[in-house]
Chain A
Amino acid sequence: MEIKGEYQIDAPRQAVWEALNDPEMLKKCIPGCESLEKVGDAKFAAKVTAAVGPVRAKFNTSLSLEDLNPPVSYRLVGESKAAAGFGRGSATVELEEQDGGTLLRYDADFKVGGKLAQVGSRLVMGATKKTADQFFSAFSKELDPGAARVDAAVESTAEPSFPWTYVLSGASFVVLLIWWFLLR
């Protein structure tokens, strides 16, 4: 499934890039993040507890960053596993200077499996949006405690053959993807 979104963050692009690459910052802002560590060159491992609808699980996530082009763009490739299922996929993230702040765009293509796919399909989009909103809200506040304004828009394009949804895990996976790839 594909999920796209963009967020306007009231901070300069360089600051956003750096924050996105600050493990402590990410850990603070990612809902349910218990640990986040660098395990190799542009490779990360994280543990995140995510709850979407009826599924709550601790995801072990591994991420690698590719096509790094600071402070403009990168590509995040990763896999998230839990007893409740798995998600895997990739996302491209772009930062653009706009209106004195930074517009962050992401375009993720991912797949979920196991119970996440089975039970959560209708909830994944909403949960993804909510998790992403939570992250960006926290992230914006951290960067600019005064402004704390977040404009969020998530749009999804599910494949026509599956007008259904995917799982919650998908949501947390996307969020993880975005944040992790920002880490260094």
Chain B
Amino acid sequence: MKIVLKRLKKRNKISYISFCIIIFLYSVAFFADFIAPYPYNKQFREYPLCPPTRIHFFDHNKNFHLRPFVYEIKLVNPALNQYEVIKNKIYPVYFFVKGEKRKILGIFTSERYLFGTKQGKIFLFGTDIHGRDIFSRILYGARISLSIGVIGVSISFVLGFLIGGISGYFGGKIDNLLMRLVEIFMMFPSFYLMLALRAVFPLNLSSFQIYILIVVILSLIGWAGLARIIRGMVLSIKEEEYVLAAKALGLSTFKIIFRHIIPNTSSYTITAITLSIPGYILGESALSLLGLGIQEPYPSWGNMLSVSVGNLRILSTAPWMLIPGFFIFLTIICFNFLGDGLRDVLDPKNW
């Protein structure tokens, strides 16, 4: 692993940077409880659609403050959501500030958070219609959006490897049967299949059940195409001489498939894995966008975006509502670069 990273750093700077960003995003999502200044469902009714709070070092008298501070903000026109900055009320920003008690990672409680103000409010990315802090919600939403890709990909890759591998290696009737099954899955346009599968299940599920459901639905759609490609690769790799040599060494069929054939598809599959994670993130977003995914008040990048995209007025007056979209974009592009880089680096012939 270390060697791979070293090579990645040396040979492909962009994918190394992407890798760092991905790691950063995942760790931020992991520590969301601690980093987020507010809980994801905390509503500040007096601050709906508040623009991002600016952090200052110089006050209006041009005096420098070592500790950054924010001004008090006040809603002046509730109809148009216009805010005014009150310049004589200064609230410094503290690290490890005390706040409401919250559970961290569901294990221990803490009342200190990474940053915040003692009085006043700090909304780094603004607030939504209900006055919830978008920055905090993005952190919590990252948990769902980022994990759905990884879990979904692992399920559909296990399925794809298993079915594609068996189908390609044994051939004949098994191959025929499994490939017809794959075709059934590939026959439907994936988006409608996704909707249809979602429609089969009731709407009033708990958020965790919905999360599991979405993962399963997404991976059920994803495995078919993959199994097809794995089968094709296995068909050609099983004729390779080293497979014959492995047979002559008396290795079991299982070992031959999973140690000699499947790893040799890795140049393709590693790229495919990293390239298909964005598909899952987008799939979740698409479901959430239609209100079929993660339900409010639980945030995911997709359902946060859906509120803003559904309302043209919000789009024009509160563009910060689109920030979750930027994070989706960032994640996807990073995974794409990482996939490209890994393909180069992981092939021993390139070392």
* Chains A and B come from one and the same complex: no
